[in-house]
Copies of this chain bind each other. A is one copy, B any other.
C-alpha cells in the first residue's frame, strides 16, 4: 500500500484567500488547515482563471484557461471532447472520485452530434468532468428548478425535515423565523442558526460521505478524491453553534476607499451598483453577515480535523497528497462590491495549500511560496504526481512539483483571469451582445491591468497601491505601463491552445516532413538534394519497373 500515491483534492466554494488564520486572519482560527500548511506549502499568490464557480472549476478540472476550454459562464456546457481530469489521470491508473460539487454542465448537444450515449461509460465520463460521481451535489438547489434525486434532500427528509419538497432550502439554508421558516437567501437572518443541526448540515454530511469512500479503499487502486464543499458559499447561514461563534467585533475592517467612487470606470460602476454591493457596502449589514461566513469556515476546519484524524488512523495520511483550495473569493463590501465576478484580490485570489508526505517534499514543509500560481496548475501537478508527463499541447498550466521539491526553477511572470459578464443582470445596460461581454485581467508583480473591450482599461500600481484603490486606467502618465501590460496580454492570447491533436514530441519529429517523404518543394535538380533526404531511385525513375 505504501507505493500507492493518492490525492485528496479539497475545494471550498467562495472562500477568500485571507480567511484562514495561517493566511493572517486575526480573529478566525483554522488550526486544522494551518496544520496542513505546516506539513506542506502554502501558495500565497494563487489566482483562479475566472472569479466565478463554473468557469473557474472547468479550468481546475482541465488545466486550461477559460478561453481555451470555452465554458465561460456558469451555465455554459463544457464542450464534449475537452480533455478533463479523468482523461489525464485514468490512463495513469488513478481513480478520480467526486464527493460534492463540480458545477460541470454536460454538452448534451455535442454528445448527440457525436453519437455518444449520455448513460454510457464515455457519456458519464464527459458529463462528470472525468470524475466517478460517488456523490455529486452542486450545492445550490433553487426551488424553481429543483432536480429530483438530490441525495442530501433525501437524507434531510429521513431526518424529519419533510415539510417541503426542498429541505436543502427550507431546513439547511433557512432559519426558524417568527411564524414560518425564512430563506437564508435573505441576509437579514445570517446571524440566526440554520434549522438543521451541525451534524445534519452540508459540510459534515459531505465529510461523512468522503469518509465512507475512504473506508471502502481497497488499498490497491490509487485514487483522487475530490471533496468539494459548497460552503462557505451563500446562503450565508450556519448551524449552531457556528452561527454565533463570531460576532461583529470579529469582522475585519472593510477594504475600500472613497476614491473608488469618484468617477469609477463605467464597468466597475455597474458592479458597484449590484444588489450585493449595496448590501455589503452597508457596514451594519456587512458585520451582521460575515460572522456566519466565518462560522461556516470554522465548521469546515473542524470537519477537516475529523477527516484528517480518520485518515491518519487508517494510514492514509502516509500516502496521500492533500490539496486545499477554493474556486474563487468573495468581495464582502471590499472595493464597494459584493459577491465575486470581478478582479480585485478578494474575488480572484484563493487559498492553496499542498501537503505531501513523500520525503521528496521535505525541504519545503511549512514554507510559504509567493510565486504566481494559477488554478490551471493543479491538473498538471496531479499528472506529474501520478507518474505521467504533462501534455503541453493540451494543458495550459504548469506542474507545481518543482516548487514543492524546492527547486529554483524559472517561473511565469504574470497571472491571467477572465470573466464573461453576459449573464450579469447589468449586461443589457451595456448594449453589448453576449459574445462581447468579455473581461481579462493580467497581473504581474508591478501592475494589475483589466481589459474589457468597449471600456477604458483599469490599472493598479501594485508597488505604490497594493490595496488596488487607485485606478490609473485613464491617467495619461501611465500610458507606458498600460501598453506593456496590453502587449503581455496579447502575448498570452496569441498562443496556440487548440492544437491538441499533435503532441510537442510528435511535432518535433515532423520537421521537414516533405523531405522525408520524398516530396521535393522547389528543387531544380539532383544538386539541390542534401542528406538526410530520403528518396526513391530518382535516377532510374522506376522504383519497381
Chain A contact residues, CB within 8 Å of chain B: 67-81, 87, 107, 109-110, 113-116, 120, 122, 140, 142-145, 163-166, 170, 174, 177, 180-183, 185-188, 234, 274-280, 282, 285, 338-339, 392-393, 420, 422-425, 427-428, 433-435, 438, 440, 451, 453, 483, 486-487, 489-491, 493-502, 504, 507-508, 510-526, 528, 534-536, 538-545
Contact = CB atoms under 8 A, between A and B. Distances in A.
A300 to B, nearest CB: 21
Of A177, A392, A393, A494, chain B has the most CB atoms within 10 Å of the CB of A494
A542 B81 contact: no
Nearest to A184: B520
26 contacts: A69-B498, A71-B499, A71-B501, A74-B513, A80-B81, A109-B501, A110-B501, A142-B517, A164-B542, A165-B543, A180-B545, A185-B518, A185-B519, A186-B525, A186-B526, A275-B520, A275-B528, A278-B528, A280-B522, A339-B522, A422-B510, A423-B510, A435-B496, A451-B494, A486-B490, A490-B494
B80 A144 contact: no
A148 to B, nearest CB: 15
A157 to B, nearest CB: 13
A76 B393 CA distance: 12
Nearest to A504: B434
Contacts of A78: 501
Contacts of A73: 502, 507, 510
Please state the number of chain copies in the assembly: 2
A145 B545 CA distance: 18
A511 to B, nearest CB: 6
Contacts of A278: 522, 528
A327 to B, nearest CB: 16
Contacts of A524: 186-188, 279, 282, 285
Of A69, A165, A520, chain B has the most CB atoms within 10 Å of the CB of A520
A411 B529 CA distance: 48
Contacts of A274: 521-522
Contacts of A486: 487, 490
A170 B542 contact: yes
B501 A107 contact: yes
Contacts of A535: 144
B71 A170 contact: no
